[in-house]
Structure 1
């Protein structure tokens, strides 16, 4: 059931002592007392009257976006102050729910979250990007009021961009029988022939063994199957069910056909649990010779990297807006999103399934700690039935990638991923010396399935070919590319200060005419960046290069280079923070949708005070030839070079 409404919210520093200590005995120990006895966490006690004065909010909610921009806050994370906050919600359960399992799910809490119910500690999770589920059955009141409290500590960062704070993704409550489908317990494996193998993991939270029948049907197809499993008390068991859909319609970029699987559990003939899961029929393969193949057909991956940060909502992007963002990218011809650099919102994956957008799904922090391994495992189980997901990325630009320690860590993660999902390949985004990382991986006895390359090693396109020559049987993809800056509609200097390290770097600026500001022409670059046209030419000219992911699809808060304060938004996006196309996005529209005619001229037409001065006119087009006229007079007529642009100085 929906659990997004009627939350009470307050920042941690605004909570009065009487509220924090409500209901606690008067003892001399001045330390925080919630850890001394069970049930002593005051904010989650249903009888605490102080909560009623807190502000009511709806989820998803980002509390940091409500702050004021300040020069004192780090510019790399958006110049918004960090903070801590509490969310509290009252709920009721029927007396008849006693004996059932009461489960609460959160798709994302940023970050280091703690959850309490009726005064009792329930759980804690450090990363702000993982989805969590807690069983609160034993501490609930049945037929009486209940209260849940969630603490979010957004004072630490996991990336160097804006990450928000709070319960910024959806939440829900599930009331289940003691015997039920385990959390993320359905694994659906398909073949394009229509064959389906379902592995259904059943949780038995009762104190007696259970003989469970598992019924599966693909809705609207007539495909049915059945399996059985005996599950010991307080254990889990897995049943395998095989089904067949006749002449299935395949999931593709152009026609993303989805099916729905319904699973029903029966105990002694009685239905005790039912759930549904969407899936699709499709095959994927990465080839060292032919790049990426979807359903046996070569597809060049035309991707963008995307953070979850948008306009006035910050990271609290509702499902409808996630879908809108996907559609804006698809309209450009983009066919893939890299979830940079974290586990994504499930709503994003739903939108990509629906609209035919591929996903390279990235984990947050690689390592061998129990919690980090659990983060990866939970995410694989959550998302492995989405047809849009084609790659599991184990990390981004980690310094350990070119060390022996890193090779051992990634080998462990690689094996973990394949144990949970052998149908999809692994990769990671390697920056710097690709060859050194590849050599270390091989020295430790393994390869990532697809080698991921960020930018151009040594800023040299020929390194793609050198890598292919050295490793002719190793598929590879450009996991991050471009690295330029652009501002929609800006053709003159703003006067905003440029950070010293960029001002003094000659390769940052195309020429002196564009020094110290980020123009719409895309004339400013990070030290590792290149012209957008060069980036796509690198990719499209090499059939063995599976594709590329441009940095980035949308602007986001933080990483404001080359500017510092008062700039608070990045300049990397093909679309701005509100989703409007920048001028360079028109290049993608031309060549990523080459079969749909498109021509775009820049800059704008209004230049008061500049009559008679030469204006730099640029044309993006996928037409064979361009004729430029000014007031009826032909200025130029030229063939359009493939995957490039035309320019003129027009007086």
Structure 2
């Protein structure tokens, strides 16, 4: 289970390199903010001012046995430290990557406090960077054995050509699993048109469309009476308490992704234990072949396509670096 954690924050900014104890002296100066948030853009005359910003939030919960809790920060610029109930839970030094903080040892029944310090110093880049929690924050609950965040890796490979038809594809699905209390990984492939009513997807994947079941396959059987996807290979490699499970499927003549017809599919990855699914993750994928030829250049699905470049920064101009879909 993963839910947005953007509401209910307050913010105060002081001089750079402040100790966390300084935030406690300025509690009356914290102002309510909504995330994502970029504090630099508020003062257009001083866009690169050094500072240390503090974000504070209270929330209530009842921790469950055999569950793990974490916060996922999609982007914080730039030097970040997180405290949970006055205990340091983790830190992250890079401003342009997602990171996850394990809350499990620190949370308690009832009210909990999260304090995030963000230290910003210029110069640090050749462009306007913004400062603060400029992307979404998520609260995640998983079983003790779980699929690692962003731990499903997918790639596709065309195999053979068919006259007048889309080629078959091999679909490689690698899943990183932390812990060993699991039995198998199963996959379900959906076309993005019709979705069974019991399936709930993150809106970022669904984008207002529905999906159609293409095939579900496991090492033992193939479901739904279809022969569209065949199970090929399954193996698991264990390394430092992380299991890498690999499944390879042959998908028969899927509709190819193209710049003019961007057909997409959804792959559900399910982690199973004792006949029950304990975690599921959804990934959006397209089937396509790419190649570079010295005579023809770039080929997409065997067709020559020109690549067009664009200089697009992640910020929203005068609105700053905080992400807002409407902008």
Interval containing the TM-score (normalised by the shorter chain)? 0.7 to 0.9
Q: Which residue does the alignment assign to 1:602?
A: none
Deviation readout 1:179-235 (Å, 9 max, x if unpaired): 11112211112134233121111111xxxx424211110122432222577797971
Q: Secondary structure at the match of 1:137?
A: coil
Q: Secondary structure at the match of 1:65?
A: helix
Is 1:202 paired with 2:177?
A: yes
Is 1:242 paired with 2:218?
A: no
Is 1:226 paired with 2:210?
A: no
210 and 230 in structure 1: CA distance in 2 versus 1, 3 angstrom threshold: farther
Question: Mapping of 1:155-234 within 5 angstroms?
Answer: 155-192=121-158, 193-204=168-179, 209-219=180-190, 220-226=212-218
8 Å contact 2:238–2:244 — kept in the other structure?
no
Deviation readout 1:325-380 (Å, 9 max, x if unpaired): xxxxxxxxxxxxxxxxxxxxxxxxxxxxxxxxxxxxxxxxxxxxxxxxxxxxxxxx
Is 1:312 paired with 2:318?
A: yes
8 Å contact 1:154–1:164 — kept in the other structure?
no
8 Å contact 2:38–2:133 — kept in the other structure?
yes
Question: Mapping of 1:96-135 within 5 angstroms?
Answer: 97-135=64-102
Question: Mapping of 1:60-459 within 5 angstroms?
Answer: 60-70=36-46, 79-95=47-63, 97-141=64-108, 143-192=109-158, 193-204=168-179, 209-219=180-190, 220-226=212-218, 235-321=241-327
8 Å contact 1:67–1:80 — kept in the other structure?
no
Larger Rg belongs to: 1
Once superposed, what is the RMSD of the aligned Cα atoms? 2.7
Cα distance in structure 2, aligned partners of 1:92 and 1:234: 33
Candidates 9, 12, 16, aligned match of 1:10: 12
144 and 234 in structure 1: CA distance in 2 versus 1, 3 angstrom threshold: farther
249 and 320 in structure 1: CA distance in 2 versus 1, 3 angstrom threshold: farther
8 Å contact 1:252–1:282 — kept in the other structure?
yes
Cα distance in structure 1, aligned partners of 2:177 and 2:325: 29
Structure with the higher strand share, 1 or 2: 2
Following superposition, the deviation at residue 149 of structure 1 comes to: 1.4
Candidates 54, 57, 60, aligned match of 2:30: 54
233 and 268 in structure 1: CA distance in 2 versus 1, 3 angstrom threshold: farther
Question: Mapping of 1:394-543 within 5 angstroms?
Answer: none
8 Å contact 1:86–1:151 — kept in the other structure?
yes
116 and 196 in structure 1: CA distance in 2 versus 1, 3 angstrom threshold: same
Following superposition, the deviation at residue 98 of structure 1 comes to: 3.7
Cα distance in structure 1, aligned partners of 2:28 and 2:242: 41
52 and 224 in structure 1: CA distance in 2 versus 1, 3 angstrom threshold: farther
Cα distance in structure 2, aligned partners of 1:211 and 1:280: 29
Deviation readout 1:229-255 (Å, 9 max, x if unpaired): 779797111222233433211111111
8 Å contact 1:210–1:230 — kept in the other structure?
no
Cα distance in structure 2, aligned partners of 1:224 and 1:257: 19
Q: Secondary structure at the match of 1:210?
A: coil
8 Å contact 1:211–1:231 — kept in the other structure?
no
Bigger relative contact order (CA 8 A; separation at least 6): 2
Structure with the higher helix share, 1 or 2: 1
Question: Mapping of 1:565-584 within 5 angstroms?
Answer: none
Deviation readout 1:390-438 (Å, 9 max, x if unpaired): xxxxxxxxxxxxxxxxxxxxxxxxxxxxxxxxxxxxxxxxxxxxxxxxx
Deviation readout 1:70-99 (Å, 9 max, x if unpaired): 5xxxxxxxx54332211112222224x243
- Give aligned pairs, total: 280
Q: Secondary structure at the match of 2:245?
A: strand
Q: Secondary structure at the match of 2:5?
A: coil
Cα distance in structure 2, aligned partners of 1:191 and 1:223: 18
Query: If the length of structure 2 is used for normalisation, what is the TM-score?
Result: 0.77
Q: Secondary structure at the match of 1:304?
A: coil
230 and 162 in structure 1: CA distance in 2 versus 1, 3 angstrom threshold: closer
Q: Secondary structure at the match of 1:196?
A: strand
